Chain A
Amino acid sequence: MKKITAILIVAVVSLLFGLFFLYPVAEVLKVAFLNESGEFTLDYFLGIFNDPIYLEGLWNAFKLGVVSTVVTFAIAFPLALGTHLWKFPLKKVLTILILAPLVLPPFVGAVGVKHIFGVEGAFNSLLIDFGLMSSTSPYDWLGEGRFWGVVIMLALHLYPILYMNIVSALSHLDPAMEQAAQNLGASPWSRFRKITLPLCMPGVFAGASIVFIWSFTELGVPLVFDYSRVAPVQIFDGLKSLDSDPTPYAIVAVMLVVSVIVFLFSKLVLGRSPLGSSARPKMKREERTLPPVLGWLVSLGFMLMFLVASIPHLGVLFLSVSTDWYGTVFPESLTGAHYGEGLGHPMVTGSIRNSLLYASGATLIDVILGCAIAYVIVRSTIWGRNLLDALMMLPLAVPGLVLAFGYFALSQENQLFYGLANVFESPVLLLIIAYAVRRLPYVVRAAVAGLEQSDVVLEEAALSMGAPPRRAFQRIALPLIGANVIAGAILAFAFAMLEVSDSLILAQQAEHYPVTKAIYALLSTLGSGHEIASALGVWAMVFLGIAIAGAFILVGKRGGSLFRL
């Protein structure tokens, strides 16, 4: 590609990236580390560590991150290994089904769980019906174990991401490597320990760091479970007193620092691939067909996991069609009324329209920028393209909450984004940009993977046949990476629809609410708020289910490569 084009793309991207990513992050850090007279200070930063409440909040968030990651790993690893090694009945269906949790924002699932495991929930009612619990003093499962409630919700939501990372890492291993070890007399166990495991570690750590950052900064689930002693919720609550108090900024800064350290550590120290840039394996892996009994046992394990992971979804589904579901095992009676009610509710229809607008706007930006960036990264030889590559992964290391917070601060009066946040009297542009920045890595990754898989000589051939570079890109490169880009775009779109932090923090007025914030708002309204929110949640589930299934069909088996970072 022409040097000038590449430089131009890098310049534009750097400018946008600096303005809408680095600047807001820097803004957060600035308030956190500068006092009123503009001098550097660690007072606010250290102040957090002297305030037992904030300290507890941070510690809880950190614990949440670590424990959720461990639990997620404990779920994902056996599943991934089973998928990698064996052939078992219904494998195709089951390996898709266990990805189901991705289609529901975890905080909406938390609502469903509340109705199942709450004090007046279905589970207690079941125990009471069987006489295992007294109806006068029901056990408060979530109240007693809120921390674990959040952990389980997050683990159930996030394990597919780790699962896909590990499966992808395993499938990229050349079977010949294991066969070579086998040939030299290594037993299956020592083969696994000495060859397979070390080689797939980068994939494991890449996924694990995302899971950690996600759980560490999760806002929605703790909010729904009333688990307020956790840093993200404290920041969210602190928004109202923002003008006077720099403390929320300082907490955000701490979270940012921890997240970036974890991300870099996983990428640079643990995640360095010993494979380097080895060629893709040519040999096809043979999955071992298990004997029927064992095979069905494995299938059963997958089914159980799917069922457990679907509890939140089922809760939401039941809630959305129930007239009343309180203190009984099953809803009193079923009704479709909430769906109708929802469609009549201005906030619901408006939020659907808003979400579609924000998410598709963000996706459009991501696709255009993502393809251009990927092309520079893979095909150009200009200086700094590796830096660009690394930079493009940063939005994954920076918690959504931090960015949302920076945007929020910058959209106040007299700040740089004030105008942007108020074009057409609505934060539509700001939200679209906020959504786009955080999802850009997915599209870039997908396009980079596509370009790396399609040989550069295919484009050179077009040049050699007389096609100018632009035409060669249009007629050869783009169609060849089309499936990857569409898949990346669908994921970006889906995650934009599910976005929580930006949506809760930046959309202030009801008419600008996206779906997630509308659900959150409905949850706190009286009457059938929960049920309408659930109906909206079900709608989102169906929608995202289709989107994600579409993405997977498009990229085929390589789905995991979209998440491999």
Chain B
Amino acid sequence: MSNLAIRVEHVSRYFKDTVALDDVSLSIGKGDLFFLLGASGCGKTTLLRSIAGLEAPDSGKVFFGNRDVTSVPTHKREAAMVFQSYALWPHMSVGENVSFGLEERGVVGDELVDRTLEALKGVYLEGYEDRRIDQLSGGQQQRVALARALVVRPKCLLLDEPLSNLDTQLRLEMRLEIRRIVKEYGLTAVYVTHDQEEALSVADKIAVMAEGRVQQVGTPEEVYRKPLNKHVAQFIGATNFLHGKVEWIVRDDDEDYVVRIRSEVGELYQGSVSDKSWKPTIGDEVQASIRPEAFRFDDSGDVINQMFGEIEEKVYQGPTVQYLVRRDSGDYIHVSEMNPSFTKEPGDRVTMIARKEDVAVLKMSDDK
């Protein structure tokens, strides 16, 4: 228990007739950069605000360490938040914004000044303390918001889509910057975003949320390569779903549960089931998730995970080339190829194959 910084237990929150959070439980380890990832309306911001104390859950509890903070008001939680809109106070200078939290904690005199300047230095804004907020660029404002939250040395740092208002280049720089700061200060941070690339590239752990529930918690690699269900597979990266019935249990041990599937047109897919709580049996209707980049154009003859089709469209995207392939079975799949030496053209016949490790087998009933 002692290495857990934040625990959320069975938290639910309703807004009128919609469910924002539906019995959510989470554990966040000390020093983790923990991401809440999901599409808008999935409940991730509500969950973050419940952790911050800005939203009172209708049921359930929130713990900081072993302390139940469910009814502790925001200002006593020592969880500093960085808001999506930054929420910098326009009537105060940069320095006043940053020193606000210190003043509220009764820090005065030299310590106040030193810590404020140090926090600004930490985000590379030395000498900006007397600037007005509207004299700063978006990126600078973002860093002031960060400094303002960090200066109070919070138990945890809460970030609500902190980079969504920045342009792409700055976003790439700032997300690494945030990771550097979080690690340098040894903070536990909860970071909300809808940008899966942002989550995959800097998170220690990701909780993928949809429809008010946590769908999967795992490392970036886990959630990408072993999605637990259709929501996760679909939201993180693009993917193709192929349907069929379990024909044979290839492997069944502690580590893995691998099945072979036969589709209606007779193709064979093989992949492992990532949901440990579920063991499909022979004859069960299941679906396989195969990412576009898992395919290779290869007609070497292995029948498992092999399929045939015709290139319908080609989209050139620089480093990769995306193809829309019309399969012989009649449906379409996406295939992407990294830096190919020869590109295929619409009308070309192709044979594709995916590695067995890249096939995730999922339940059919995941649409609810």
B90 lies within 8 A of A480 (CB): yes
Q: Give the residues in chain B near A471, CB-CB below 8 Å.
A: 104
Q: Give the residues in chain B near A464, CB-CB below 8 Å.
A: 52, 54, 74-75, 79-81, 149, 158
Size class of the contact patch on chain B: 20 to 34
Q: Give the residues in chain A near B78, CB-CB below 8 Å.
A: 466
Distance in angstroms from A431 CB to nearest chain B CB is: 36
**Nearest neighbor of B101 in chain A, beta-carbon distance:** A465
Q: Give the residues in chain A near B104, CB-CB below 8 Å.
A: 462, 465-468, 471
Q: Give the residues in chain A near B80, CB-CB below 8 Å.
A: 464-466
**Nearest neighbor of A479 in chain B, beta-carbon distance:** B91
* Contact residue among B53, B73, B148 (Cβ-Cβ distance under 8 Å from A465): B148
Distance in angstroms from A354 CB to nearest chain B CB is: 37
A460 lies within 8 A of B75 (CB): no
Whole-angstrom distance between the alpha carbons of A469 and B76 in the complex?
11
**Nearest neighbor of B158 in chain A, beta-carbon distance:** A464
Q: Determine whether B311 belongs to the interface, using a CB cutoff of 8 Å to chain A.
A: no
B87 lies within 8 A of A455 (CB): yes
Whole-angstrom distance between the alpha carbons of A463 and B149 in the complex?
11
Q: Give the residues in chain A near B52, CB-CB below 8 Å.
A: 464
Whole-angstrom distance between the alpha carbons of A466 and B84 in the complex?
19
Whole-angstrom distance between the alpha carbons of A479 and B104 in the complex?
17
Distance in angstroms from B178 CB to nearest chain A CB is: 17
Q: Give the residues in chain B near A463, CB-CB below 8 Å.
A: 53-54, 73-75
B residues 62-79 in Cβ contact with A at 8 Å: 73-76, 78-79
Whole-angstrom distance between the alpha carbons of A455 and B87 in the complex?
8
Q: Determine whether B124 belongs to the interface, using a CB cutoff of 8 Å to chain A.
A: no
B87 lies within 8 A of A458 (CB): yes
Q: Give the residues in chain A near B81, CB-CB below 8 Å.
A: 460-461, 464
Q: Give the residues in chain B near A479, CB-CB below 8 Å.
A: 91
Q: Give the residues in chain A near B75, CB-CB below 8 Å.
A: 463-469, 472
Whole-angstrom distance between the alpha carbons of A190 and B198 in the complex?
49
A457 lies within 8 A of B74 (CB): no
Q: Determine whether B297 belongs to the interface, using a CB cutoff of 8 Å to chain A.
A: no
- For A428-468 the 0/1 string (1 means CB < 8 A from B) is 00000000000000000000000000010110111111111
Q: Determine whether B276 belongs to the interface, using a CB cutoff of 8 Å to chain A.
A: no
Q: Determine whether B332 belongs to the interface, using a CB cutoff of 8 Å to chain A.
A: no
**Nearest neighbor of A482 in chain B, beta-carbon distance:** B91
Q: Determine whether A476 belongs to the interface, using a CB cutoff of 8 Å to chain B.
A: yes
Q: Give the residues in chain B near A467, CB-CB below 8 Å.
A: 75, 100-101, 104
Whole-angstrom distance between the alpha carbons of A452 and B52 in the complex?
23
Distance in angstroms from B38 CB to nearest chain A CB is: 20
**Nearest neighbor of B83 in chain A, beta-carbon distance:** A457
**Nearest neighbor of A463 in chain B, beta-carbon distance:** B74
B101 lies within 8 A of A457 (CB): no
Distance in angstroms from A264 CB to nearest chain B CB is: 27
Distance in angstroms from A69 CB to nearest chain B CB is: 40
Q: Give the residues in chain A near B100, CB-CB below 8 Å.
A: 462, 465, 467, 475
- For B151-164 the 0/1 string (1 means CB < 8 A from A) is 01000001000000
Distance in angstroms from B82 CB to nearest chain A CB is: 9
A458 lies within 8 A of B101 (CB): no
Q: Determine whether B14 belongs to the interface, using a CB cutoff of 8 Å to chain A.
A: no
If A464-B79, A465-B104 touch, whether A458 touches B89 (CB-CB below 8 Å) is: yes
Q: Give the residues in chain B near A476, CB-CB below 8 Å.
A: 89
Q: Give the residues in chain B near A458, CB-CB below 8 Å.
A: 87, 89
Q: Determine whether B85 belongs to the interface, using a CB cutoff of 8 Å to chain A.
A: yes
Q: Determine whether B105 belongs to the interface, using a CB cutoff of 8 Å to chain A.
A: yes
- For B131-160 the 0/1 string (1 means CB < 8 A from A) is 000000000000000001100100000100
* Contact residue among B53, B76, B79, B83 (Cβ-Cβ distance under 8 Å from A461): B83
Whole-angstrom distance between the alpha carbons of A471 and B74 in the complex?
13
Whole-angstrom distance between the alpha carbons of A468 and B149 in the complex?
16
If A457-B85, A460-B81 touch, whether A465 touches B149 (CB-CB below 8 Å) is: yes
* Contact residue among A460, A466, A472, A480 (Cβ-Cβ distance under 8 Å from B91): A480
B74 lies within 8 A of A461 (CB): no
* Contact residue among B87, B88, B101, B149 (Cβ-Cβ distance under 8 Å from A460): B87
If A460-B74, A466-B75, A467-B100 touch, whether A455 touches B91 (CB-CB below 8 Å) is: no
Whole-angstrom distance between the alpha carbons of A468 and B103 in the complex?
12
Whole-angstrom distance between the alpha carbons of A471 and B76 in the complex?
13
Whole-angstrom distance between the alpha carbons of A460 and B73 in the complex?
11
Q: Give the residues in chain A near B158, CB-CB below 8 Å.
A: 464
B152 lies within 8 A of A465 (CB): yes
- For B43-70 the 0/1 string (1 means CB < 8 A from A) is 0000000001110000000000000000
Distance in angstroms from A475 CB to nearest chain B CB is: 8
A residues 86-106 in Cβ contact with B at 8 Å: none
- For A282-319 the 0/1 string (1 means CB < 8 A from B) is 00000000000000000000000000000000000000
Whole-angstrom distance between the alpha carbons of A461 and B84 in the complex?
11
If A460-B54, A461-B83 touch, whether A466 touches B89 (CB-CB below 8 Å) is: no
Whole-angstrom distance between the alpha carbons of A123 and B27 in the complex?
87
Q: Give the residues in chain B near A462, CB-CB below 8 Å.
A: 89, 100, 104
Distance in angstroms from B132 CB to nearest chain A CB is: 14
A461 lies within 8 A of B87 (CB): yes
Q: Give the residues in chain B near A475, CB-CB below 8 Å.
A: 100
B85 lies within 8 A of A455 (CB): yes
Whole-angstrom distance between the alpha carbons of A475 and B87 in the complex?
14
Distance in angstroms from A1 CB to nearest chain B CB is: 11
**Nearest neighbor of B90 in chain A, beta-carbon distance:** A480
B residues 143-195 in Cβ contact with A at 8 Å: 148-149, 152, 158
**Nearest neighbor of B106 in chain A, beta-carbon distance:** A466
Whole-angstrom distance between the alpha carbons of A15 and B141 in the complex?
45
Q: Give the residues in chain A near B152, CB-CB below 8 Å.
A: 465-466
Q: Give the residues in chain A near B89, CB-CB below 8 Å.
A: 458, 461-462, 476, 480
Q: Give the residues in chain B near A466, CB-CB below 8 Å.
A: 75-76, 78, 80, 101, 104-105, 152
B residues 98-146 in Cβ contact with A at 8 Å: 100-101, 104-105
**Nearest neighbor of A475 in chain B, beta-carbon distance:** B100
Q: Give the residues in chain B near A469, CB-CB below 8 Å.
A: 73, 75
Q: Give the residues in chain A near B101, CB-CB below 8 Å.
A: 465-467
Residue with the highest number of chain B CB atoms closer than 10 Å, among A465, A472, A476: A465
Distance in angstroms from A477 CB to nearest chain B CB is: 10
- For A464-492 the 0/1 string (1 means CB < 8 A from B) is 11111101100110011000000000000
Q: Give the residues in chain B near A460, CB-CB below 8 Å.
A: 54, 74, 81, 83, 87
Besides A457-B83, A466-B105, 15 other CB < 8 A contacts? A455-B87, A457-B84, A460-B87, A461-B88, A461-B148, A464-B74, A465-B75, A465-B148, A465-B149, A466-B80, A467-B101, A471-B104, A479-B91, A480-B90, A480-B91
Q: 13 A-B Cβ contacts within 8 A?
A: A455-B85, A458-B87, A460-B81, A463-B53, A464-B80, A464-B81, A464-B158, A465-B149, A465-B152, A466-B80, A468-B75, A475-B100, A479-B91
Tell me the A residues contacting B by CB distance below 8 Å.
455, 457-458, 460-469, 471-472, 475-476, 479-480
Tell me the B residues contacting A by CB distance below 8 Å.
52-54, 73-76, 78-81, 83-85, 87-91, 100-101, 104-105, 148-149, 152, 158
A-B CB proximity, top 3 nearest? A465-B101, A461-B87, A463-B74
